[in-house]
Structure 1
Amino acid sequence: MAIDFPAVAIARQILDRFDDYRERFREITNLGRERFEKAQWQEIQEASAARIQLYKICVTEARDALLRQYGEDILLNIECWPQIKNSYIGQIDLRLDDELSETWFNSVFNSLFSHDLISDSCMFVHSTRAALSAHDAPMQIRTYRPEGDLATTLHQISEDYRFVVDYEDQSRDLQRLEKRLRANLPDWVCKDPELCIELYSSRLYRNKGAYILGRIYTQDEQWPLVIPMLNREGLGICMDTVITDEAEVSIIFSFTRSYFMVRVAYPAEFISFLRRILPRKHVSELYTSIGFYKQGKTEFYRALVKHLETTEDKFMMAPGVRGMVMTVFTLPGFNTVFKLIKDRFSPSKMVDRATVIDRYRLVKYVDRVGRLADTQEFADLRFPVAKFEPECLAELLEVAPATVEVQGDEVLIRHCWTERRMTPLNIYLETANEQQIIDALDDYGLAIKQLAAANIFPGDMLLKNFGVTRHGRVVFYDYDEITYLTEINFRRIPEPRYPEDEMSAEPWYSVAPNDVFPEEFPRFLFTDHQLRKQFKELHADLFTAEFWQGLQAAIREGKVIDVFPYKRKGIE
């Protein structure tokens, strides 16, 4: 029997609430230029966190408004939702952000129902939209044809992307950009009469940088093109460098970075443009990189489902030392790990489940400075039992029975986080050559320092809690002890009162819960004496309380310390 209810009106209200979210999202995003010009660095960080929180706030508002107007009898009747979905499909057909509006519909639906009721008849498990194509011609671009005169073209670009704040030294920057561009590209490219430069019309903003983004191409080849711009407070705008290496641009768009602020009229079009420049990046990462992290989560889940349906891969335990708080499994052909909270923690861990959840969620809102792996949080994931290696499923059921349950031929994962899979640093060092070891240890120290500059103290800094990416960057990924740097009390170990003090098993000085003694780091971090020696030669300052106290003082004074997502060799 047909159900008589206002399906069209409910769908319309869901879409109206989506428009409200999009407008509020744009209001935060579109102030990126003004904040950059005014050097409002703290406001930029606050805006970034506010934009992430906005989605959940707006979904909750949409759900509550629907319940007030239509009541539980209609909205919690699952039989109504196929008609609501069908009406919604018709209403979003001509939109330019239709893929985002589908995800929004799913979020509203999930806020009302248990995940047990997810189905394609009631929500968009699979998209009804056309697949993205990297070959679609973007509308919001500027095209330049040097015709052998690269200097004039670069000058025109600098004029087209001017700010209210004047350049510090436009001529100097243009000379440097041209020199680096010629050094980075084959000789014949800059002379090719068919050479074309294609730039997105809006700049991208993140932290203390603005970025001009595009590509440089001929009939046969292409290179990404990124020009980072800095506001040197009181001096003017600086075009810092030019980047044409795909790996370096990929790092700028890394899963370890905060999300960009960029004005986009048509999100899918911009993602298609990014895919031209970064063809190895998955579409889920690209959506996430510009602040549409819920769309990134949707695209990730659809890719995961497709991978399971089209491959023989099975879940297995992730390699590395077993965690004391989290258990981690992975899918060999899918570059992701799945992290679950254990039912019982190691006695040495002084945290509870709620604290661990809070700390993992904290990472979403802080400046990750390229050193914290982004996470996606999922509830009630279901996978076929046949997709698990028996040893993996047995271990998950043993250490996390409150989270993992077998229901017939399915495995229910009640709660987990996903992260990009990396090689644990301790495993990487076991097979690395001498130069790779030095490079990794150096980057490990830099990772700790850059996190500290962003007011993040990792807590447990053991090698096993850091990973090495495909670009060789060292990234922290174990968050159960993460905290703000300014909440830690860094101390020097007091001088012993008597000779016997040094022989005692107990410290001769008081230790409060947040006290940290950097002098103790070497023996805790390195059991291998050679690694300890090499690291100390590279980063001995990390073992002094004064180093950490100096950073704390700068942060408390309101300074936002520079951490660049690209190499700055040769930049004055």
Structure 2
Amino acid sequence: MPYSPKRIAQNILDQFDHYRDEFRSITSGARVRFEQARWNDIQSASTARINLYEDCVSSTAQNLHQSTDAEYILDVRNWPDIRKAYITLIDQRFDDELAETWFNSIFTSLHQHDQISDETMFVHSSRPATRPPSRIPLTRGFISDGSLDGLVRQILDEHSFDAPWANFERDCKMIIEHLHKGLPDWAQKDRGLTVELIQSVFYRNKGAYLVGRVISQQEQWPFVLPLIHHEHEGISVDTLITDESQVSIIFSFTRSYFMVEAAVPAEMVAFLKQLLPSKHIAELYTAIGFYKQGKSEFYRALIAHLATSEDRFIMAPGVRGMVMSVFTLPGFNTVFKIIKDKFAPSKNIDRATVIDRYRLVKRHDRVGRLADTQEFADFRFPRERFDPECLAELLEVAASTVIEEGDVILVRHCWTERRMTPLNIYLESASETQTQEALLDYGKAIKELAAANIFPGDMLLKNFGVTRHGRVVFYDYDEISYLTEVNFRDIPEAMYPEQEMASEPWYSVGPNDVFPEEFPVFLFADIRHRKAFSSMHGNLFEASYWRGLQERIKDGQVLDVFPYKRN
């Protein structure tokens, strides 16, 4: 049988449809899991959906490699024809941009990265920049007709669940109160005041979210209603959020991905972009579960930046890491993290362990306190885009990862992560108020990670960053572990004074032993910071606090962590 680019393209697309069906199946189950308060199942489903993409790509690539067309498929010269056939097949689809990214994943699974080009795959999208709407309704509008009470009741009546409202009247009253506080007087009196909501509900962790906007006389505000389900009481509205910065935090790169049904992903992202104009579309695709599309959009933004700017890679500000080397582009809000060839003697881990821990974070509930990462292989950058000191340091500490190829620098493996201000640097110039707020949030970050069964390991200030919203986030994962794997111990009393004065501990220390009483001196060189933190989060220095969290987690409890300010 003669080789057929169209048949191969159809095979790739058929496997994409299989992946999309499985993705939708996991996503559509979010409603029932929320209604039935199956919190542990929610976490399992989130992990399964993340794993799904790589599993399906691997299976598809393996099948193509073993097919009767394998000889043709493995010859990169044939892929321009396969690509052309594929473009024809996806032209009328509503998820065509995702289909392109899928094609890219299959190609890179079968071929070397130096064979990537716009002829063999979709470095740049072939999709038109603007497309006519799909006619599939994304949103539904609710008009006040001069009555906020009527408007609110319309919204809640439309979003009923197979679980009762805990207190419908209380929720209506609370939403109206928030509208009075969040909107100007003239908007509240507008008889045409409209709330436009995305028809699909956004589910994540123990919450469900109605997401949309309030529109009045050419102005708009975000409108987000978080819903919570108390098993023995019912579903209730937790608050109303109309502040863009707070909505941005809900869609943050530090959060797990939403479960939300998106018939036309590009249209949902475009709508969210109107609500959150400061967010890049890469972040928005990622936030609704299409993290591979987010990776594609990020890469395209990076190459566009390199093509239209002159800034050069420099080492990222902060204390040099003992495991990772971190560099950045000043004009591009991202850091690039590579594993060093040799670790500091105090680091008793290897390269494989570091990779495993970064991938663990990808799949775990990040509760707003762990920065999401994207893993890349074989980045190629012009040598001239590197500051000489930066390049020299990278070549010295990671010669197996950073390779010179004439005028090109090859980065074999790295992670990208949102750039933040290291907490230790932030505190150096912070005001008294900023210092107090940062230390308070630093403790909250540790506690919320612990509630999600994550122990950061190395909790030094330099391993936490401060976001543009002032939130403290952990970003150094080489010593991260599950909280339930750590043995939290009290320091035994010394039998005689000389033991306390000795340079070595008078008690045995196992590989997983942690002594929280040692944290104050270990974490804070500045005695003022130590005292302030102790007054806010002194229980973190008690082994009993950590053991209590472990017991709750082992009992199957999923603790509450809210991605917004609660009133």
Same fold (TM over 0.5): yes
Query: What SS does structure 2 have at the residue aligned with 1:281?
Result: coil
Partner of 2:142: 144
Unaligned runs of 5+ in 1: none
- Judge conservation of contact 1:176–1:241 (CA < 8 Å) in 2: yes
Query: What SS does structure 2 have at the residue aligned with 1:69?
Result: coil
Q: Which digits, 9 at most, give the CA deviation of each residue in 1:125-183, with x for residues without a partner? A: 01000226899997221101112101111011001001010100000011011101111
Partner of 1:433: 431
Provide the rounded CA distance (Å) in 2 between the counterparts of 1:481 and 1:545: 19
Partner of 2:124: 126
Instruction: Give the letter for the 1:514 counterpart.
Output: N
Offset at residue 4 of structure 1 (A): 5.6
Partner of 1:208: 206
Partner of 2:171: 173
Offset at residue 61 of structure 1 (A): 1.2
| Residue 105 (structure 1) aligned with residue 103 (structure 2) | yes
- Judge conservation of contact 1:147–1:191 (CA < 8 Å) in 2: no
Instruction: Give the letter for the 2:532 counterpart.
Output: Q
Going from structure 1 to structure 2, the CA distance change for 1:357 and 1:75 (only over 3 Å counts) comes to same
- Judge conservation of contact 1:132–1:268 (CA < 8 Å) in 2: no
Offset at residue 74 of structure 1 (A): 1.2
Provide the rounded CA distance (Å) in 1 between the counterparts of 2:18 and 2:131: 28
- Judge conservation of contact 1:134–1:276 (CA < 8 Å) in 2: no
Going from structure 1 to structure 2, the CA distance change for 1:133 and 1:254 (only over 3 Å counts) comes to farther
Offset at residue 225 of structure 1 (A): 0.4
Any residues of structure 2 matched to 1:69-108 within 5 Å, and which?
Answer: 69-108=67-106
Query: What SS does structure 1 have at the residue aligned with 2:235?
Result: strand
Provide the rounded CA distance (Å) in 2 between the counterparts of 1:43 and 1:388: 46
- Judge conservation of contact 2:202–2:258 (CA < 8 Å) in 1: yes
Provide the rounded CA distance (Å) in 1 between the counterparts of 2:256 and 2:457: 21
Provide the rounded CA distance (Å) in 2 between the counterparts of 1:137 and 1:221: 25
Provide the rounded CA distance (Å) in 2 between the counterparts of 1:367 and 1:301: 25
Say which of 332, 346, 349 aligns to 1:348: 346
Partner of 1:396: 394
Partner of 1:301: 299
Going from structure 1 to structure 2, the CA distance change for 1:407 and 1:134 (only over 3 Å counts) comes to farther
Provide the rounded CA distance (Å) in 1 between the counterparts of 2:318 and 2:262: 41
Query: What SS does structure 1 have at the residue aligned with 2:68?
Result: helix
Of stretches 214-223 and 40-49 in structure 1, the one that deviates more from structure 2 is 214-223
Instruction: Give the letter for the 1:427 counterpart.
Output: I
Structure 1 vs Structure 2 CA RMSD: 1.3
Provide the rounded CA distance (Å) in 1 between the counterparts of 2:279 and 2:289: 16
Provide the rounded CA distance (Å) in 1 between the counterparts of 2:488 and 2:91: 58
Partner of 1:543: 541
- Judge conservation of contact 1:133–1:272 (CA < 8 Å) in 2: no
- Judge conservation of contact 2:165–2:235 (CA < 8 Å) in 1: yes
Going from structure 1 to structure 2, the CA distance change for 1:348 and 1:218 (only over 3 Å counts) comes to same
Provide the rounded CA distance (Å) in 1 between the counterparts of 2:140 and 2:413: 45
TM-score (norm 2): 0.99
Provide the rounded CA distance (Å) in 2 between the counterparts of 1:339 and 1:131: 32
Provide the rounded CA distance (Å) in 2 between the counterparts of 1:84 and 1:59: 17
TM-score (norm 1): 0.98
Offset at residue 262 of structure 1 (A): 0.4
Partner of 1:286: 284
Q: Which digits, 9 at most, give the CA deviation of each residue in 1:494-547, with x for residues without a partner? A: 000111111111111100000000000000000111111111011000000000
Offset at residue 70 of structure 1 (A): 2.8
Any residues of structure 2 matched to 1:254-269 within 5 Å, and which?
Answer: 254-269=252-267
Partner of 2:227: 229
Provide the rounded CA distance (Å) in 1 between the counterparts of 2:131 and 2:555: 47
Say which of 228, 232, 238 aligns to 1:240: 238
| Residue 475 (structure 1) aligned with residue 473 (structure 2) | yes
Going from structure 1 to structure 2, the CA distance change for 1:134 and 1:350 (only over 3 Å counts) comes to farther
Query: What SS does structure 1 have at the residue aligned with 2:100?
Result: helix
Percent identity over the alignment is: 62
Partner of 2:336: 338
Query: What SS does structure 2 have at the residue aligned with 1:369?
Result: coil
Instruction: Give the letter for the 2:203 counterpart.
Output: Y
Provide the rounded CA distance (Å) in 2 between the counterparts of 1:452 and 1:375: 20
Partner of 1:63: 61
Partner of 1:372: 370
- Judge conservation of contact 2:421–2:467 (CA < 8 Å) in 1: yes
Say which of 449, 459, 478 aligns to 1:461: 459
Q: Which digits, 9 at most, give the CA deviation of each residue in 1:361-383, with x for residues without a partner? A: 10011110000000000000001
Instruction: Give the letter for the 1:125 counterpart.
Output: V
Instruction: Give the letter for the 1:293 counterpart.
Output: Y
Provide the rounded CA distance (Å) in 1 between the counterparts of 2:375 and 2:134: 32
Offset at residue 193 of structure 1 (A): 2.5
Query: What SS does structure 2 have at the residue aligned with 1:467?
Result: strand
Offset at residue 72 of structure 1 (A): 3.4
Say which of 29, 32, 35 aligns to 1:34: 32
- Judge conservation of contact 2:94–2:134 (CA < 8 Å) in 1: no
Going from structure 1 to structure 2, the CA distance change for 1:135 and 1:27 (only over 3 Å counts) comes to closer
Partner of 1:46: 44
Q: Which digits, 9 at most, give the CA deviation of each residue in 1:14-69, with x for residues without a partner? A: 00000000000000000000000000000000000000000001011111222222
Q: Which digits, 9 at most, give the CA deviation of each residue in 1:453-499, with x for residues without a partner? A: 00000000000000000000000000000000000000000000111
Partner of 1:493: 491
Going from structure 1 to structure 2, the CA distance change for 1:300 and 1:137 (only over 3 Å counts) comes to farther
Provide the rounded CA distance (Å) in 1 between the counterparts of 2:125 and 2:299: 12
Instruction: Give the letter for the 1:524 counterpart.
Output: F
Provide the rounded CA distance (Å) in 2 between the counterparts of 1:427 and 1:133: 45
Offset at residue 219 of structure 1 (A): 2.6
Unaligned runs of 5+ in 2: none
